Structure 1
Amino acid sequence: MRKDLLKVLAPITFIVIALIFYFVLLGTRGVELVRSGSGAAIGLGIGVLLLPLVGVWILYASLRAGLQHQHLARRIHAEGLELDVTDLPRRPSGKLDRDAADALFEKVKLEWEADPDNWRNSYRLARAYDHAGDRGRARDTMRRAVELERRERHGTA
């Protein structure tokens, strides 16, 4: 378990440190452009200064979402409600066979339709969307699962 955690955290830590370095470097260049006094350089400098701000926001949002998803994954695992895909046929790439992923999705969708306000069903549906290759709906449904779980945890459901 410890080794698996290191395999995940090491690259994330490296990327975060590299991005912070890049944001500082970009910010420094933006300040230099603004200080130059030239109208065009000031405009460009302001634009360059906005890039690290947007980058920090994206980095924060991505890390926060990842931690929230991991929290739900731990809870689902502890409750024994993970989707079992071990026996499903796979393509040579390792991804689930399309027909198998679609069948899994239909099964999980029926569970979700029976109780759409249960975060566990939304989590499972998000994973089924992911296995079926629909990343956009998987993200939207996972956001819903995170919100429903937060409400449950805080008693505001």
Structure 2
Amino acid sequence: MSAAPRRRLPRGLAGAVAVTALLALYVVAIAGRGLAMIRDGQPALVAIGVAVLVIPLLVIGLIVREFLLAARVQRMADTLAAAGELPVDDLPRSPGGRVDRAAADAAFDERRAGVEADPESWQAWYHLAFAYDAAGDRRRAREALRKAAALFTTAPAA
């Protein structure tokens, strides 16, 4: 009887956890300073202390948001891999590793047409995100990935 294959942790998870731990130390230090300012009782320090406490809350919120997105993207990738539809980066590259712009544009046009044909398909948005990434447009890649994640969350289970 063969043992079930061990599931590998996603690449980069250890780094993300380490950076998050460092940010947690930062948040604790900043929160401590903010609370000390508030305890001082002087109106100006109380106001600054309250403002300083907002920073850790924002940091925590952003970290939670990014981890939730990463988990959702991993579930989407697992779903696409199981269906044999995971995007493959097979675009031609220069010796320096840059993607051939004409090939990236052609792949992008194909993926954009997929989204235009079915704008409610999380799969189409996921593929478009990777086309944006190959074209070097990280901001739009992230937007498309967030759209895919939102549609994936609301999609009925297969």
After TM superposition, the score normalised by the length of structure 2 is 0.85
Query: 1:68 and 2:90 equivalent?
Result: no
Query: 1:131 and 2:103 equivalent?
Result: no
Higher helix content, 1 or 2: 1
Find 1:19's aligned residue among 9, 23, 27.
23
Q: Distance in 2 between matches of 1:70 and 1:6?
A: 8
Q: Deviations over 1:35-91 (max 9, x none)?
A: 1122221121111111101110011111111111111111112211122322x2213
Q: Which runs of 5+ in 1 are unaligned?
A: none
Amino acid at match of 1:121: A
After TM superposition, the score normalised by the length of structure 1 is 0.86
Q: Which runs of 5+ in 2 are unaligned?
A: none
Deviation at 1:3, TM superposition (A): 9.6
Q: Distance in 1 between matches of 2:57 and 2:107?
A: 41
Deviation at 1:116, TM superposition (A): 2.1
Contact 1:95-1:131 within 8 A present in 2 as well? no
Match of 2:154 in 1: 151
Q: Distance in 1 between matches of 2:27 and 2:40?
A: 20
- In the TM superposition, 1:21-60 aligns within 5 A as 21-60=25-64
Q: Give the RMSD, CA atoms, in angstroms.
A: 2.2
Amino acid at match of 2:93: R
Q: Distance in 2 between matches of 1:117 and 1:7?
A: 29
Deviation at 1:9, TM superposition (A): 2.0
Deviation at 1:105, TM superposition (A): 0.3
Amino acid at match of 1:50: V
Runs of 4+ in 1 over 3 A off after TM superposition: 1-4
Aligned residues: 154
Amino acid at match of 1:105: F
Change in CA separation of 1:97 and 1:2 when aligned onto 2, cut-off 3 Å: farther
Find 1:90's aligned residue among 55, 71, 93.
93
